Amino acid sequence: MFPPREEFLRVLPILIFCGGGTLLMLLQPFLRSRTAFSLLALAGSLTAVVSVGCSAAHPGAAFYGLIGSDPASVFFEFLVGAVAFLVILGSASYLERESLAPAEFYALIFFAAAGMCVLASAREMLTAFIGLEMSSISSYILAGYRRESPKAAESALKYFLLGSFATAFFLYGIALLYGSTGTTVIAQMTPLAPGLLPKLGLALLLIGLSFKVAAAPFQLWTPDVYEGAPTPVTALFSAGPKAATFALLLRIFVEMPLAAGEWTRIFWILAVITMFAGNLGALLQTNVKRILAYSSIAHAGYILVAFAASNEIGVAAVLFYLLAYAAAKLGAFSVVAHLGGAGEKRIELDDFAGLAQRQPIAAAAFSLFLLSLLGIPVTAGFFGKFYIFKAALASHLIGLAVLLGVNSVIAAYYYLRLIIVMYMREPKEETAALPFPGAVTTVLALCALATVYFGLFPNHIIAFASNPRLFGH
């Protein structure tokens, strides 16, 4: 029996991303113009973002309950779609500068985005696995897209080896859960018999997903991969897969009967070591891309604090935080991608000295994103941290809230150092300003707008994310 029409509408963004990616690959031999590919990719990703409205209008399960549309999946599909759109918008000039082929690049971003959307809306483990792999395999290729650069090749290799290693853990976790519950549907996973097997399965699953969100002690690949990958791709990595994997984790820990309760302590430990690993690591770095990579480890730690809290405010905080974080990280990496110059040679801290005199607007935008990552009021990052604090305190995790505060102070050191370098330090040598092309300026403007808007009016998102029917059913 062919599934009814509305089931296709429920997964429309995924279909558009898959179809768009395939179309780009098919057109590759016939079109020679970079602009044509960029416009096609932009149109495709914009259509996908708009089509999220269509999946929002048809909530419910699709394809025998394997996948579905509910407010949470709509939120994450929108986030992933917007991230893909902004990355594509910002990468056209980068691809031209580094003379990289556009068609495959955009197609891979489309496939990765499709995978992330699947991950965010999967209701069953096999589907989640396929989504995870769609996004991971595309990411491995994207990480090594600058084939001439030995660093990019090494980054792709590290990502590939550790990513597949993590996938094996994820799968073994699913196997044990399947064996002990007799099903792979997330919401139906209740143990058939008491015992260690389901817990072990869930723990392995958690290890696999911790790799993907870069939570310590499974974060070692992150700085190297982020440094070696082309910067627009780094922007995608830091915002997209992280959001989608956290979406799956949320779904597992909200819906799965097995996952209730006792996991708080595990998340407590994961959150603390992740925060410290990220922030202390960032203190020692002089490469701006690596600083931002370590900072994204730290942010995974902050989000895990909300998981440790495991209450309704925590769920809303995760959604809001991922949105705020994506806007700030995308903006920051877009600045670095452009200012890095040909071959990404100028991404050391010293290269940013005196940026405020050379390019005041770029320096101001970069500072805004850094302040949002730091969590200063009037930026979205502030409310993100605020709600995570609130969630931790609501669950009486005073110690964890204090450690979160300590970490924010450590983080202030390296974010503010970057800002001070841009505003106060004189450049060592005379460097020409690199004017931003219109498309990148648009990306920065949109990210800055989102950062400030959600920093002033967080209520819409929080109200949306506090919906008790966030996860279907």
Partner 1 sequence: MVPAGYYLVLSAILFGLGIVAFVFKRNIITIFMSIELMLNAVNLAFVTFSQVLGKLDGQVFVLFVIVVAAAEAAVGLGIIILIARHRQSLNVERMDLMKF
CB of 160 to partner 1, least distance (A): 5
Per CB under 8 A, 246 contacts partner 1: no
Minimal distance, residue 153 CB to partner 1, in Å: 5
348 in contact with partner 1 (CB under 8 A): no
Question: Which residue, among 327, 328, 304, has the nearest Cα to 314 in the 3D structure?
Answer: 304
Q: Is 288 in the site for partner 1 (CB under 8 A)?
A: no
> Checking DSSP bridges between strand 67-69 and strand 60-62, what pairing results, if any?
antiparallel
Rounded to an integer, what distance in angstroms lies between the CA atom of residue 154 and that of residue 149?
A: 9
- 156 forms part of the interface with partner 1 (CB under 8 A): yes
Stretch that binds partner 1, among 22-30, 76-84, 220-228, 359-367 (CB under 8 A): 220-228
Contact partners, residue 120, CB within 8 Å, separation at least 6: 72, 73, 76, 77, 80, 131, 243, 244, 247, 248
- Cα dihedral sign for 253, 259, 261, 266? negative
Number of residues this chain uses to bind partner 1 (CB under 8 A): 38
- Does position 205 interact with partner 1 (CB under 8 A)? The reply is no
The full DSSP string for 138-158 is HHHHHHT-STT-HHHHHHHHH
Q: Is 133 in the site for partner 1 (CB under 8 A)?
A: yes
CB of 415: closest distance to partner 1 in angstroms? 20
Closest by CA to 118, choosing from 16, 190, 208, is 16
When asked if residue 386 is in the footprint of partner 1 (CB under 8 A), the reply is no
25 is an interface residue for partner 1 by CB under 8 A: no
416 binds partner 1 (CB under 8 A): no
> What radius of gyration do the chain's Cα atoms show?
21
Other Cβ atoms less than 10 A from the Cβ of 71: the count is: 18
- Using alpha carbons, list the distances in angstroms from residue 214 to 122, 136, 217, 230, 275: 21, 13, 8, 19, 11
Query: Angle formed by the axes of helices 398-424 and 380-394, to 10°?
Result: 160
**C-alpha distances out from residue 172 to 46, 195, 214, 232, 262, Å:** 37, 17, 19, 33, 21
Residue 98 is a binding residue for partner 1 (CB under 8 A): no
Q: Which stretch binds partner 1 (CB under 8 A): 51-59, 69-77, 178-186, 315-323?
A: 178-186
Among 52, 83, 122, 174, binds partner 1 (CB under 8 A): 174
CB 344 to partner 1: min, Å: 13
Q: Which helix (H) or strand (E) holds 50?
A: helix 34-57
- Pick the stretch among 72-80, 169-177, 396-404, 411-419 that binds partner 1 (CB under 8 A): 169-177
How many of the other CB atoms lie within 10 Å of CB of 399?
11
Asked if 175 is part of the footprint of partner 1 (rule: CB under 8 A), the reply reads yes
Q: Is 223 in the site for partner 1 (CB under 8 A)?
A: yes
Stretch that binds partner 1, among 40-48, 155-163, 367-375, 401-409 (CB under 8 A): 155-163
- The span of 110-118, 133-141, 269-277, 447-455 binding partner 1 (CB under 8 A) equals 133-141
Angstrom distance (rounded) from CA 161 to CA 142: 15
* By CB under 8 A, residue 168 contacts partner 1: yes
Q: Which residues contact 279 (CB under 8 A, 6 or more apart)?
A: 294, 295, 298, 407, 410, 411, 414
Q: How many CB atoms lie within 10 A of CB 257?
A: 12
We find the least distance from the C-beta atom of residue 383 to partner 1, in angstroms, to be 33
The residue among 229 and 249 lying less far from partner 1, judged by its C-beta, is: 229
Among 8, 63, 165, 423, binds partner 1 (CB under 8 A): 165
User: Which residues contact partner 1 by CB under 8 A?
Assistant: 126, 129-130, 133, 137, 140-141, 144, 147, 150-151, 153-158, 160-161, 164-165, 167-168, 171-172, 174-176, 178-179, 182, 184, 223-224, 227-228, 281, 284
